[in-house]
Structure 1
Amino acid sequence: MPYLPSSARYENPGMYRRCGRSGLQLPLISLGLWHNFGGVDVYENGRAIVRRAFDLGITHFDLANNYGPPPGSAEENFGRMLRTDFAAHRDELIISTKAGYGMWAGPYGDGGSRKYVLASLDQSLARLGLDYVDIFYSHRPDPATPIEETMGALAHAVRSGKALYVGLSNYNAEQTARAAQVLRELGTPLLIHQPRYHMFERAPEAGLFERLQAEGAGAIPYCPLAQGLLTNRYLGGIPDDARAAKPHGFLKADRITPAVLEKISALDALARARGQSLAQMALAWVLRQPAVTTALIGASKISQLEDNVKAIETLAFSPDELARIDAILNEAGRGQSQPK
């Protein structure tokens, strides 16, 4: 049966926020295909999640060349969805991909060289079945390659019509400042930066967000729910379908310590007092940052997606609530390691 998107998908004008000083608006919640959309996953489940996301007004779908597993399979699966469900809606979508991590054998299948970055983009476009992506990222800095070379490759992607905007991911504040300067000189301003940021990982607050605001770029934090830790999924143990139970997941069971569970339980109680789920509060907390344009979530179920999107209904925090969150993070289980 043909997919017909909801006619009400744009009825919430508060769903969108301008990205930095650009003319581009992004939904407050974006969907990432890092997990749950690869060749090892159930295709129809991922397809249903993407359809529901679009129905809810999510227009931004984030990929990378190595997403899967196996690497490349998330782009292949999303390309199939584009052909079957979204061919008539391409101009309503923001589709991003990245290059930076290892993709093929030999010296040209990894890093930040012009050779690798542009070859990777061509391969991504072939898997997606697209002529261009909306945002193309350098997925990580490469210490063996000058920033000028990597940024030159990103700028070339825009000049060649294979990308509309460029972004960075996993660059620190100093690296971001240099990369943004080079891009500006090349006539391709930095649009967006994708750092890891959540309640347990606050490094971007130490200079990166300030730098992005100075550059007029937006931020799209990934892992805003700490790969599921900042939900109520783990309060009763590790579910069989959770990331911590998957052999290819990055969230390992040994990171879910009693000290971490103590913090999560206290945060959950505060969220309930706010009339939110813990996931909704964690997303609202990320979106409170002036530099942040959108929060990048993952989802393995439609119910998770729907719960996450409701975060935008209650974005404000009182000073007391923010102080309480800081106290929970800093005092409960003091001296124990934090999850990343």
Structure 2
Amino acid sequence: MTTDFPLFRTTKPTPEAERENILAAPGFGQYFTDHMASAVWTSADGWQDRKIGPLEPFSLHPSAAVLHYGQEIFEGLKAYRHADGSVWLFRPEANARRFARSAERLALPQLSVEDFLASIEELVRADEPWVPVSTGEESLYLRPFMFASEVFLGVRPAAQVTYSVIASPAGPFFASGIEGVTLWISSKFTRSAKGGTGEAKCGGNYAASLAAQVDAKQHGCDQVMYLDSAGDNTLEESGTMNVCLITADGRLVTPALGTILEGVTRDTVLTLAGDLDLVPEERPITLGELRSRAADGSITEVFAAGTAAVITPMVGFKGEGYEFTIGDGTPGKHTLAMREHVLDIQFGRTEDKHGWMRRVL
């Protein structure tokens, strides 16, 4: 089989017994497979040096542009082993398109959808033994990323860029069962502004979120809920995830795009809403609406959507001088049903009516 990412196998693979011990309790982002995908772009020659090779450290000059100017983007998706032993990706084309949009926003070269998919598929094929046999929600997490590797100091787009994909086996996000989380509604920090990088998946957005996460923890909350930067008190995102509300009259409401990340799981949930007799709706949601409708019971459930945890129930909120509960303070029935519905598609337990699954092996 020919490929744009030829395989150069490691001479020092992880011993089988060690790999099996890791897969028995992989956690999240703690262990990595034996290989990585890589390619290099230069302004003179375009993309070159595509390969799947041994997992190894990068060697960067101290003046590498990414270290000084943060010109970097990334993605996150998973490979799933089905009951028959086959291995599949979930909506990788959507991740490829978002990666290209992020690259454009950060003045990085765009990687074609074909190269994005080839790099991921060939890495999964090379490290197939690392794809867990799922007893719950185990999967292989895939992290494509791109960064400015040119050696120079100066504020301009880099003329040399490195692309790579690494893989990490992942266990169930909720190891002790699905419990609701409480969010701190920040009046101190915002995550994005119109014309900013909020729609791009870049490291700077996440670095800027860390202080807000610490602030949330100090207020006894699990994560932060951001409001818009324009002062309209509209909901944006929850840390690293999109936010969805379910109303008593059967609507699934989520903040409109513009300054937030266009999540793949968010889009999945909106598409599947009708399967649960919910009407999807994208529009601004104010903090005042959330508080008043949680109080009168017309907002019955709130959850966050993202690749890592799939769907996270939100059962309570706190802010400066107030706090309130959603519903009875436990994960809602629609939230849990939607979570199970998405997982059933990803793991091949139900029909994929939308053609989202892409077979690798």
Greater per-residue helix proportion? 1
* Greater Rg over alpha carbons, structure: 2
In which range does the TM-score fall when normalised by the shorter chain? under 0.3
Higher strand share: 2
Question: TM-score, length-normalised on structure 2?
Answer: 0.24
Normalised TM-score (structure 1): 0.25
